[in-house]
Structure 1
Amino acid sequence: MQLALPNDVLLLIGEQLEQKADRWNLIFVSRHFHDLFLPLVYRNVSINNWQDANWFLHAILKRPALARAARELDLTDWHAKSVSDDDCNQIQTSTALSTWLDAVSCSTLESDHWAQRLGQGLSDAWVALILPLLSQLRKISLAYMTNSPYLDLIMQRAVDCEKPFSVQPFRHLQEVSLHHRGDLDHNEHLGDVGGDTQLSSTLLLPFFQLPSVRTITANSVVDPSSITPHSEGSTDGETPRLGFSSITDIDLRASSGNHGMETLVNSCADLKSFKYQHSDSHVLSHGYQPSAFHRSLTHSKKSLQTLWLDHYGSHYPFTAAGLNQSHDEWFGSLVDFTALKEVRVRLPNLLDIRYQNEPTTPLMECLPSSLETLYIEGCEERYLGMLVSQLQAVVKNRRTRFPQLKRVDIEGAFQNVSSDDDDQVADSGPEVLEAVIKDKIYQAAEPLHIDCVSAGLELHLHDRALSHI
Structure 2
Amino acid sequence: MKPKHQAAPGIISCPAEILDLVFQLLSPADLRVFGRVNKAFRNYVEPLLYSKIQWTWLKAESPPPITLLVRKILCRPQLATYITNIHFESDTFCRWSFKVVPKIPFTSELNEPIAFIRKTGVSYTDLWIQELCQGITDAWLALLLAQLPRLKCLYLSPNFTQQSKLIGMVLRSAIEPAYYGLPDFRHLRDVSFHLRVGDRSRKKRNDKNTTDVLPFFYLPSIQHLSASIENPVIFTWPAAHLPVPNLTSLDLNFVREAHLGQLLSVTQNLKTLRWAWYFDISVEDQFTTPIVDLDQIDTALSHVRDTLTDLTILAECGTGLDPFLPSIKTEGSLKSLVNFNKLKRLQIPLPFLVGFAQDTTKRLQDVIPRNIEFLVITDNLKQQNQDVADRTGWPLWEWEDHVIIDLIRLWLEDWRACTPHLRGITLRLEWTDWELDEWLPETTVQQLRDLGAQAGVEIEIIDLTDVM
TM over 0.5: yes
Q: 1:279 to 1:11 in 2, by over 3 A?
A: same
C-alpha distance in structure 2 between counterparts of 1:134 and 1:71, whole Å? 8
- The 8 Å contact of residues 348 and 354 in structure 1, kept in 2 or not, is answered as yes
**Equivalent residue, structure 1, for 2:14:** 5
SS at match of 2:258: coil
- The 8 Å contact of residues 152 and 202 in structure 1, kept in 2 or not, is answered as yes
- The 8 Å contact of residues 139 and 174 in structure 1, kept in 2 or not, is answered as yes
**Equivalent residue, structure 1, for 2:209:** 200
- Which amino acid in structure 1 is aligned with residue 333 of structure 2? W
SS at match of 2:371: coil
- Which amino acid in structure 1 is aligned with residue 77 of structure 2? P
**Equivalent residue, structure 2, for 1:62:** 75
- Which amino acid in structure 2 is aligned with residue 303 of structure 1? T
**Equivalent residue, structure 2, for 1:341:** 344
Deviation sequence 1:120-160 (CA, Å, 0-9, x none)? 22111111112122111111112445543211211111011
C-alpha distance in structure 2 between counterparts of 1:466 and 1:199, whole Å? 36
Q: Deviation of residue 257 (structure 1)?
A: 0.2
C-alpha distance in structure 2 between counterparts of 1:317 and 1:185, whole Å? 8
Q: Deviation of residue 43 (structure 1)?
A: 0.6
Q: Deviation of residue 375 (structure 1)?
A: 0.9
Q: Deviation of residue 315 (structure 1)?
A: 6.4
C-alpha distance in structure 2 between counterparts of 1:213 and 1:10, whole Å? 31
SS at match of 1:410: strand
C-alpha distance in structure 2 between counterparts of 1:317 and 1:324, whole Å? 13
Q: Deviation of residue 37 (structure 1)?
A: 0.8
- Which amino acid in structure 2 is aligned with residue 334 of structure 1? L
Q: Deviation of residue 181 (structure 1)?
A: 5.0
Q: Deviation of residue 462 (structure 1)?
A: 3.5
**Equivalent residue, structure 1, for 2:174:** 158
Q: Deviation of residue 446 (structure 1)?
A: 3.5
Asked if residue 364 in structure 1 is aligned to residue 380 in structure 2, the reply is: no
**Equivalent residue, structure 1, for 2:119:** 103
C-alpha distance in structure 2 between counterparts of 1:101 and 1:183, whole Å? 34
Deviation sequence 1:289-341 (CA, Å, 0-9, x none)? 23221111112111111111124x1266999xxx9554465333421111111
**Equivalent residue, structure 2, for 1:305:** 309
Asked if residue 36 in structure 1 is aligned to residue 47 in structure 2, the reply is: no
Moved more, 300-309 or 457-466: 457-466
- The 8 Å contact of residues 11 and 37 in structure 1, kept in 2 or not, is answered as no
C-alpha distance in structure 1 between counterparts of 2:179 and 2:416, whole Å? 59
Moved more, 29-38 or 200-209: 29-38
**Equivalent residue, structure 2, for 1:269:** 268
SS at match of 1:130: helix
SS at match of 2:267: coil
Moved more, 408-417 or 274-283: 408-417
- The 8 Å contact of residues 305 and 340 in structure 2, kept in 1 or not, is answered as yes
**Equivalent residue, structure 1, for 2:6:** none
- Which amino acid in structure 1 is aligned with residue 138 of structure 2? D
**Equivalent residue, structure 2, for 1:213:** 222
Identity of aligned residues (%): 21
Q: 1:406 to 1:317 in 2, by over 3 A?
A: farther
Deviation sequence 1:240-262 (CA, Å, 0-9, x none)? 98772222222123x14041512
Q: Deviation of residue 77 (structure 1)?
A: 2.8
SS at match of 1:309: strand
Q: 1:330 to 1:151 in 2, by over 3 A?
A: same
- Which amino acid in structure 1 is aligned with residue 32 of structure 2? W
- Which amino acid in structure 1 is aligned with residue 313 of structure 2? L
- The 8 Å contact of residues 235 and 259 in structure 2, kept in 1 or not, is answered as no
1:294 to 277, 293, 298: 298
C-alpha distance in structure 1 between counterparts of 2:109 and 2:425, whole Å? 58
- The 8 Å contact of residues 103 and 137 in structure 2, kept in 1 or not, is answered as no
SS at match of 1:278: strand
- The 8 Å contact of residues 372 and 407 in structure 1, kept in 2 or not, is answered as yes
Deviation sequence 1:220-272 (CA, Å, 0-9, x none)? x3234x443799xxxxxxxx98772222222123x140415122111211221
1:174 to 189, 211, 218: 189
**Equivalent residue, structure 1, for 2:402:** 385
Deviation sequence 1:141-198 (CA, Å, 0-9, x none)? 12445543211211111011434247x7111111111122599996xx999xxxx853
C-alpha distance in structure 1 between counterparts of 2:226 and 2:134, whole Å? 28
Asked if residue 461 in structure 1 is aligned to residue 461 in structure 2, the reply is: yes
Q: 1:359 to 1:446 in 2, by over 3 A?
A: farther
**Equivalent residue, structure 2, for 1:76:** 89
- Which amino acid in structure 2 is aligned with residue 252 of structure 1? L
C-alpha distance in structure 1 between counterparts of 2:351 and 2:200, whole Å? 37
- Which amino acid in structure 2 is aligned with residue 126 of structure 1? W
C-alpha distance in structure 2 between counterparts of 1:100 and 1:382, whole Å? 62
CA RMSD in angstroms, aligned pairs only: 3.6
- The 8 Å contact of residues 265 and 297 in structure 1, kept in 2 or not, is answered as yes
Q: 1:163 to 1:252 in 2, by over 3 A?
A: same
- Which amino acid in structure 2 is aligned with residue 394 of structure 1? W
TM-score (norm 1): 0.77
Q: Deviation of residue 405 (structure 1)?
A: 2.0
- Which amino acid in structure 2 is aligned with residue 295 of structure 1? T
1:21 to 17, 29, 32: 29
TM-score (norm 2): 0.78
**Equivalent residue, structure 1, for 2:235:** 228
- The 8 Å contact of residues 189 and 221 in structure 2, kept in 1 or not, is answered as yes
Unaligned runs of 5+ in 2: 1-8, 93-100, 383-396
C-alpha distance in structure 1 between counterparts of 2:309 and 2:237, whole Å? 32
SS at match of 2:252: strand
Q: 1:280 to 1:333 in 2, by over 3 A?
A: same
- The 8 Å contact of residues 243 and 266 in structure 1, kept in 2 or not, is answered as no
C-alpha distance in structure 2 between counterparts of 1:341 and 1:229, whole Å? 33
